[in-house]
Structure 1
Amino acid sequence: MCNTKQNSKDLAYALLRLAMGVNMFVHGLVRLPKLEAFNTWMLGYFQDTFLPEFLVNIMSYTIPFVELAVGVLLILGLFTRQALLAGALLMVVLLFGACLKENWEWAAFQMIYAIFFFMLSYFIELNKVSIDKLRGKCDCEENK
């Protein structure tokens, strides 16, 4: 017997996961060709903070690759729990930077992203339309 309500929830979760995945993937994708410009901008942006230049350098070269990887994994529904954790931790790092610069508008946007990562993590049992499910590595209720 088909449980239409449950199938709808699973589909809704998949669509939200896909939307977040596309968002993160494109964030990383558009930054990769302009990695040097992104690095230069980040160095200038955080120049007047206590953050050491080497740390800003590391982060500016790491962020686009993390965004890209998180995006691909969320789009596929592969290693979803780990991708959500990486994405949420990235939001913490970005939130720290926004608050350090007293850029409260950016901080608010990052809090919205954090809420979406929370929701996707909290409802991970709905992750049934995914490669994780096909691999039998899903955090879905049937596997618990």
Structure 2
Amino acid sequence: MDLKQALDLLKKNGYKYTGKRERMVHIFSEQGRYLTAKEVLDYMQKDYPGLSFDTVYRNLALFEDLGIIEGTEWDGERRYRFNCGGNSHHHHLICTECGRTRTIHVCPMNAILGKPDNFEITGHKFEIYGRCSECMESSSVSPSH
């Protein structure tokens, strides 16, 4: 998904193209990582000081329903990122410090389960949480004295 595709998807589905929605799409495009609703609100406060959590949550739900963003849960909190787009089946490694993701090009489900008898799998989600190399490096750098 890119910025133009996201905004076109809103318009195609009959939703108003507002400054707030455009700014929200820009934030996901710029950040390229998972964000909490609070982080989205914080990024938008400068341009929209009276913006409420309700407005952010409503738009996050709309964006998720339209496939503009995808959500996941970790540490008891819902987080969102731009939808990867495309129809290729894949999963993610997710850094729990910065929220950036890397695609896993092999499906671990095949190794774990194979094709079960008397059951058709119509979807699944597989995410691995940890720390990316950049976050590991930044936390291992000790302050100089």
TM-score, length basis structure 2: 0.32
Q: Which protein is richer in strand relative to its size? A: 2
Higher relative contact order by CA 8 Å / sep ≥ 6: 1 or 2? 1
TM-score, length basis structure 1: 0.32
